């Protein structure tokens, strides 16, 4: 039997795990979600979710991958034959995510070039109407180097699949060793520039001012858990896959804490950067910060371009760095998402990595072209909503209940982790996974079903 690939170094694994975690979700999702759900007060449910679900599940998934040395389907199969299908379900969700996540990275790639030539047009709101997607190359047009989304999308896939062809140590590890430090440096430049802009403090005030009246609202708690799951890449089969390449001696618990806190620090930093910039924009326009905030995709692809249009000299480089950070953060996540089904195929069908990358990645790339068409934006929104609500919360719930209550694996997992880790798992870990997380996720599911069916 072929021996399983391994990470070259501990730092290599941590950078890859952090690279998977830090993604588009940190940069455009977190700031808007936090702002809408109570600002500074959101940090309370958010940190609660990090400590009772995020890090405990991360430790659980790292241990499962390390102990069973398999991609998610294989690891689940090794726990219990009947549960392999749960692993495949998570793999399928990862596959679907990769088909649209890649498109957002491609937009960011075009927009990093548009930061210089302002080719996104005067009315940046056109992005949401799909106008950007209708763009075609006009011969001789300035900036036609990046026509629409097709070429950047192909580039995204060539880079991602190229890295995956090279394998775990020579591909994924090396890529993250370059991408993540570069991302952190670029992001620090952005944040420092942002908070020194006139008006930035108003933005930060808007972001952090706690609205405690929201804290009792179920929506806010649901948002906090949703953010933690998506942001930490848990319940997607990804972290199980990455940890299956760990060497025997690995401090699982410590790695999980570094990944969890690293990801959250980055996203809070992103909130500071983004709201600093929004404060600046509001000050320039003489309006309140709440008038310039837009949620989700619009924040990155409408508001930022608008700012750059208004102050091109000042902001082209800044805009470029912002979109470049989206590209780097996005690519390191897309690599992990794609590796999840590549590893699933390799483990199941005993095919070579090369074949699995070509077939799995190739198919995802083809499907992603659909999202790059005009109707794609609406389709993408729907897919994102559905995946986040039903995919993540539901898989998370099934995974935790299965492992804690049905297969009763927690004791074994805890012993395995404690054997190789410095920090020993206490009862907070067990209670979080047996009681708190199942209750919260169960409540989330019931609520979702009610909202969608009634």
Query: Under the rule (CB under 6 A), what is the footprint of ligand PHE?
Result: 20-21, 23-26, 97, 230-231, 233, 236, 238, 333, 336-337
Q: How far is the CB of 30 from ligand PHE (least distance, A)?
A: 8
Cβ 160 to ligand PHE shortest distance, Å: 12
Binding test (CB under 5 A) with Na ion, winner from 12, 19, 25, 271? 25
In this chain, which of 14, 15, 17, 21 binds Na ion, going by CB under 5 A? Answer: 21
26 near Na ion (CB under 5 A): yes
Q: Residue by residue, what is the 3-state secondary structure of the chain?
A: CCCCCCCCCHHHHHHHHHHHHCCHHHHHHHHHHHHHCCHHHHHHHHHHHHHHHHHHHHHHHHHHHHHHCCCHHHHHHHHCHHHHHHHHHHHHHHHHHHHHHHHHHHHHHHHHHHHHHCCCCCCHHHHHHCHHHHCCCCCCCCCCCCCCCHHHHHHHHHHHHHHHHCCHHHHHHHHHHHHHHHHHHHHHHHHHHHHCCCCHHHHHHHHHCCCHHHCCCHHHHHHHHHHHHHHCCCCCCHHHHHHCCCCCCCCHHHHHHHHHHHHHHHHHHHHHHHHHHHHHHHHHHCCCHHHCCCCCHHHHHHHHHHHHHHCHHHHHHHHHHHHHHHHHHHHHHHHHHHHHHHHHHHHHHCCCHHHHHHHHHHHHHHHHHHHCCCCHHHHHHHHHHHHHHHHHHHHHHHHHHHHHHHCCCHHHHHHHHHHHCCCCCCHHHHHHHHHHHHHHHHHHHHHHHHHHHC
From the list Na ion, ligand PHE, none, which binds 20 (C-beta under 5 to 8 Å, kind-based)?
A: ligand PHE
- Does 336 help bind Na ion (rule: CB under 5 A)? no
Between 25 and 87, name the residue whose CB sits nearer to Na ion.
Answer: 25
The residue among 171 and 330 lying less far from ligand PHE, judged by its C-beta, is: 330
- The stretch near Na ion (CB under 5 A) out of 67-75, 148-156, 160-168, 228-236 is 228-236
Closest distance between Na ion and the C-beta of residue 168, in Å?
21
Question: Which of Na ion, ligand PHE, none does residue 19 bind (CB under 5 to 8 Å by kind)?
Answer: none
Q: CB 227 → ligand PHE: shortest distance, Å?
A: 9
In terms of CB distance, is 102 or 421 closer to Na ion?
102
Nearer to ligand PHE, 262 or 279 (CB): 262
Kindly list the residues in this chain that would bind Na ion in the complex (CB under 5 A).
21, 23, 25-26, 231
């Amino acid at each position: 039997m072929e021996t399983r690939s391994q990470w070259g170094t501990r730092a290599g694994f941590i950078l890859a795990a952090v690279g998977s975690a830090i993604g588009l979700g940190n940069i455009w999702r977190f700031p808007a979600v936090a702002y809408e759900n109570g600002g500074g007060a959101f940090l309370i449910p958010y940190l609660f979710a990090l400590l009772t679900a995020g890090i405990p599940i991360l430790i659980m998934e790292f241990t499962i991958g390390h102990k069973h040395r398999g991609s998610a389907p294989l690891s689940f199969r090794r726990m219990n034959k009947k549960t392999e299908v749960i692993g495949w379900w998570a793999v399928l969700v990862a596959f679907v995510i990769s088909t649209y996540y890649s498109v957002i990275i491609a937009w960011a790639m075009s927009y990093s070039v548009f930061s210089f030539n302002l080719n996104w047009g005067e009315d940046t709101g056109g992005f949401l109407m799909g106008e950007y997607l209708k763009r075609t190359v006009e011969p001789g047009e300035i900036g036609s180097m990046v026509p629409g989304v097709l070429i950047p999308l192909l580039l995204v896939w060539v880079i991602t699949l190229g890295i995956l062809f090279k394998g775990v140590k020579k591909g994924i590890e090396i890529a993250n060793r370059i991408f993540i430090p570069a991302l952190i440096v670029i992001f620090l430049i952005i944040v420092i520039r942002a908070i020194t802009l006139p008006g930035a403090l108003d933005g930060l005030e808007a972001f952090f001012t706690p609205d405690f009246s929201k804290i009792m609202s179920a929506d806010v708690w649901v948002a906090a858990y949703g953010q933690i799951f998506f942001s930490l890449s848990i319940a997607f089969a990804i972290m199980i896959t990455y940890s299956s390449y760990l060497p025997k001696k690995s401090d699982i618990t410590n790695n999980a804490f570094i990944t969890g806190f690293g990801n959250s620090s980055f996203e809070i930093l992103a909130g500071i950067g983004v709201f600093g910039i929004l404060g600046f924009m509001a000050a320039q326009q003489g309006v309140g910060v709440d008038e310039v905030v837009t949620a989700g995709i619009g924040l990155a692809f409408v508001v930022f371009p608008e700012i750059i249009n208004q102050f091109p000299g000042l902001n082209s480089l800044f805009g470029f760095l912002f979109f470049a950070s989206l590209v780097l953060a996005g690519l390191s996540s897309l690599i992990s998402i794609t590796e999840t089904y590549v590893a699933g195929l390799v483990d199941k069908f005993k095919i070579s990595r090369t074949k699995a990358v070509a077939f799995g990645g190739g198919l995802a790339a083809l499907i992603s072209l659909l999202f790059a068409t005009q109707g794609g934006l609406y389709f993408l929104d729907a897919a994102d909503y559905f995946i986040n609500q039903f995919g993540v919360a539901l898989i998370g719930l099934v995974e935790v209940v299965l492992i804690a209550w049905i297969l009763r694996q927690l004791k074994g997992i805890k012993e395995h982790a404690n054997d190789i880790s410095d920090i020993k798992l206490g009862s907070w870990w067990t209670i979080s996974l047996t009681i708190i997380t199942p209750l919260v996720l169960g409540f989330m599911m019931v609520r979702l079903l009610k909202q969608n069916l009634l």
